Amino acid sequence: MCLQRTKERITAMAIETVGIVGGGQMGAGIAELAAKAGCKVIVREISPEAVEGAEKRISGSFGKALDRGKIEQADHDGAIANLSYTTDLADLAPCDLVVEAVIESPELKHEIFQALDEIVTSADAILASNTSSIPIASIAVSTKRPDKVVGLHFFNPAPVMKLVEVIPSILTSDDVVAELRAFATDKLDKEVVLAPDRSGFVVNFLLVPYLISAIRFLGDGHATVEDIDNGMKLGCGHPMGPLTLSDMIGLDTIHHVAVAMFDEYKEQLYAPPPLLSRMVEGGLLGRKTGKGFYTY
């Protein structure tokens, strides 16, 4: 949609239709947020089985919120009615905002944004990536509308975590940044950090080296999983230890981010340690697979 300007402030007209590419853990959470905020949401997945999984993920989360009294029945029913699902990327044509939430693969993201550029009909539509590490400018140049491409990075679990990073590239228009910040703040009830377009942005630039350091420390045999986590929880007041947090984020995600950051900065502190690489190769990804540094 468009911006309405006054001398006092910039406000965003309501983004009414939101497309989500990828209905996994992050995509499902973003879809839940947008549907609860009153947007029509179209979730696109790659197969009927993946669509079924996304729908189950989102409806299950809404059901838990209803059972816990965090949402009223009418709001629950309205949000569910706002959601639709598809395997056809072309169904995202009418969207005002599309958020890509697939794995941290530059090649896949380029492919998706090239396709969205041809599909999404409105010249004012915003194309956003939930990438946690890949510079936005490198994604934006896949389109003929780089001024409309921006990073919109949510944190896991998206319905709960208060922060969103908005990441403009050197090509993103100021109007798009203002509109998306207003949408995230006013409609999704999030706190926004404006992040620089460099790998890792703000949060992961600071967080990932800490997690990698804990994994490297464990792999070198200096301490146990429990002692590392208890040390940071009880000694530093962290709500959870770095290895528990790594399991929650997903070790594959941490590995992808570490690789992207090492490629950008060429500093050893960002390089994935051997233990992390072996665990990812072995499918020990944390909570999502039932086993990582802990068994779930």
Of 129, 130, 133, 204, which one is the catalytic site residue?
A: 204
Active site residue 111: no
Q: In the β-sheet with 97-100, what is the strand arrangement from edge to edge?
A: 83-86, 40-44, 17-21, 97-100, 126-129, 149-154, 163-168, 191-194
Residue 49: count of CB within 10 angstroms of its CB: 10
133 Cβ contact partners less than 8 Å away, ≥ 6 residues apart: 104, 199, 200, 201, 204, 208, 256, 257, 260, 261
- What values do phi and psi take at 232, rounded to 5? -80, -30
CA distances from 228 to 144, 293, 296 (A): 48, 11, 19
Of 32, 153, 246, 256, which one is the catalytic site residue?
A: 153
Active site residue 76: no
Active site residue 238: no
Of 32, 55, 100, 165, which one is the catalytic site residue?
A: 165
DSSP count for the chain of H helices, then E strands: 11, 10
Reference 254, options 198, 216, 295; nearest CA is 216
Active site residue 118: no
Of 132, 142, 169, 199, which one is the catalytic site residue?
A: 132
Residue with tokens 């189950």: 56
Tell me the three state secondary structure of residue 271.
Answer: coil
Tell me the three state secondary structure of residue 75.
Answer: helix
Tell me the three state secondary structure of residue 163.
Answer: strand
258 Cβ contact partners less than 8 Å away, ≥ 6 residues apart: 208, 212, 270, 271, 272, 276
In angstroms, rounded to a whole number, what is the distance separating the alpha carbons of residues 251 and 256?
9
CB 37 within 8 A of CB 30: no
Q: Please give the positions annotated as active site.
A: 132, 153, 165, 204
